Structure 1
Amino acid sequence: MSFTVLMYHEFRKRGDIDATSPSTISVEQQYQDALPKVLFSYIDDFKEQMMYLKTEGYHTLTLQEIKDFYEKGTQFPEKSVLLTIDDAFQSVYQYAYPILKELQFHAVSFVVLGWLSNEREYFDPSISKVMSKQELEEMLDVVELGNHTTHLHKRYPDGTSEMQATSLQELKKDLAECGEYVTYPDVFAYPFGIYAPKDIERLAETGIKYAFTTVPGVNTASTSVLELHRDTVTLGCTLENFKTIVEKGASK
């Protein structure tokens, strides 16, 4: 049995995005960065992709089903896919959530706790702003929450991340704080997809049981649960390309 994990970040209407330049992020904690436009999806493309999954009878997996598969050998429907959306940007609430709710689909949001604001703010499509806790919690009928650190989602010019630079003690503390808020404290996504073998060892010591990468590929019973594959759905992904991604993971 195998399954594919899809990764999304941001959503925009066509015409509301300049595909040639990164999008400045706006988060609660003091951190400056920009999100590459390749990590966006046009909302009409997203709706078409979700409608394809619905029409073709795909089952949207929960994290508990993933755990049961690896821990108990529990099987799930042949056509199954895990939908993941990183960082909890406002556009998820604005655009993706209504579509998922209408189709009765399930998704996972990997949350950087320190990025969430305490108050709702106006949606501005010109920047990548993270939503409020209230908005995120209003989506819990459709979305469950995974661990994406509290304050360690930062990257350095040398290609490493704050998660890698911090001490094991601080890493444990940070992940535990995020874990108190999210639905699944022991399910993690590597910030920016950056990790090395020593990071896998350190994660295991913190109590993280499952970790998702940004390395594409199909997951099987033999895939390392601390190196689970995810396929990025990129800006302008055609329906044919989308079909290729999801169909390769459909269990035969």
Structure 2
Amino acid sequence: MFQTLVFHEIRPKNELDLGQRPIKVADNYADSLPLALYDELSHFEQRIRQLVENGSHFLTLDDVKAFYLNGTTLPEKSILLTFDDCYQSLKKFAYPLLKQYDIPATAFVATGWLFDNPSPYDPAVSRVLAKSELADMSDVFAYANHTSHFHQRKGTTESRPMWETTDAFIADLKEANAIVPITDVFAYPFGLYDQNTVATLNDQGFYLAFTTKTGTNDHSTPRLELNRTIVGQFTPL
């Protein structure tokens, strides 16, 4: 059994006090990250320290694959740490702390959002990193598919893979897989999906896919509908 946690933006309190801000991405998709998805930096630091001090076992994607492929037993308190979208705060705040504690993590990349060149950290927007900056953090982060240009939504019920044709979704998956090193693991954009989305991933050879449904995962959890608990500033320590 294991638990998966997902973080998005990590910011110091003085930045969170300024309120919601727009995202800034290379393909010009316009949206704003809900404040509930931000985690305060001091909370994040506390969370990581507590997990380490409580004897948590930090998983890699290879560990999770082996759990399902071989039916292996995982150590108690097994946790997979994940981060979505690759905002600048990932490099500025999360990476140094995880590196300090030698903790592996997974980042799900919307590759069409990545910029060609790095930019200075901008507290006024949720700006995504450049491609080269991901390579700089590869000693901590493994990178997997979060679509290329399909990380878009209509309200809170539908993501772009759900309204596009299957062929268009497959083309987008392949575009993202040309950039990310791990090509058989996926995270649903905004956690939104339907069974057609699941079937397409299965047909395209994806082995694991993560939702944003709260809960632990065991051998009975469908590999393409794994639970993943969102951690934000209102999540109790």
> Which position in structure 1 is the counterpart of 2:40?
42
Please tell me the residue identity of whatever aligns with 2:153.
R
1:70 aligns to 2:87 (yes or no): no
| Pairing partner for 1:56 from 50, 54, 57 | 54
TM-score, with normalisation over the residues of structure 2?
A: 0.96
- Residue 204 (structure 1) shift: 1.3
Distance between the aligned counterparts of 2:236 and 2:78, measured in 1? Answer: 20
- Residue 184 (structure 1) shift: 1.3
Counterpart secondary structure, 2:185: strand
Counterpart secondary structure, 1:53: helix
> Which position in structure 1 is the counterpart of 2:94?
96
Counterpart secondary structure, 1:220: coil
> Which position in structure 1 is the counterpart of 2:15?
16
Identity of aligned residues (%): 39
1:232 aligns to 2:230 (yes or no): yes
Distance between the aligned counterparts of 2:227 and 2:235, measured in 1? Answer: 19
Structure 1: where are the runs of 5+ without partners? 240-252
Please tell me the residue identity of whatever aligns with 1:106.
P
Distance between the aligned counterparts of 1:190 and 1:102, measured in 2? Answer: 29
The within-5 A match list for 1:74-223 is: 74-157=72-155, 159-223=157-221
Please tell me the residue identity of whatever aligns with 2:108.
F
Distance between the aligned counterparts of 1:188 and 1:93, measured in 2? Answer: 21
Counterpart secondary structure, 1:199: helix
Q: Deviations over 1:134-185 (max 9, x none)?
A: 1111110000011000110111137312111222222112111211221211
Please tell me the residue identity of whatever aligns with 2:6.
M
> Which position in structure 2 is the counterpart of 1:5?
4
Distance between the aligned counterparts of 2:218 and 2:212, measured in 1? Answer: 16
Q: Is this contact kept in 2: 1:25–1:33, CA < 8 A?
A: yes
TM-score, with normalisation over the residues of structure 1?
A: 0.90
Distance between the aligned counterparts of 1:79 and 1:18, measured in 2? Answer: 33
Q: Deviations over 1:85-137 (max 9, x none)?
A: 00000001000000000000011000000000011101111210001111111
Q: Deviations over 1:180-219 (max 9, x none)?
A: 2212111000001111122211221222221100000010
Please tell me the residue identity of whatever aligns with 2:222.
S
Structure 2: where are the runs of 5+ without partners? none
Distance between the aligned counterparts of 1:67 and 1:131, measured in 2? Answer: 28
Runs of 4+ in 1 over 6 A off after TM superposition: none
Distance between the aligned counterparts of 1:158 and 1:69, measured in 2? Answer: 32
Distance between the aligned counterparts of 1:222 and 1:149, measured in 2? Answer: 26
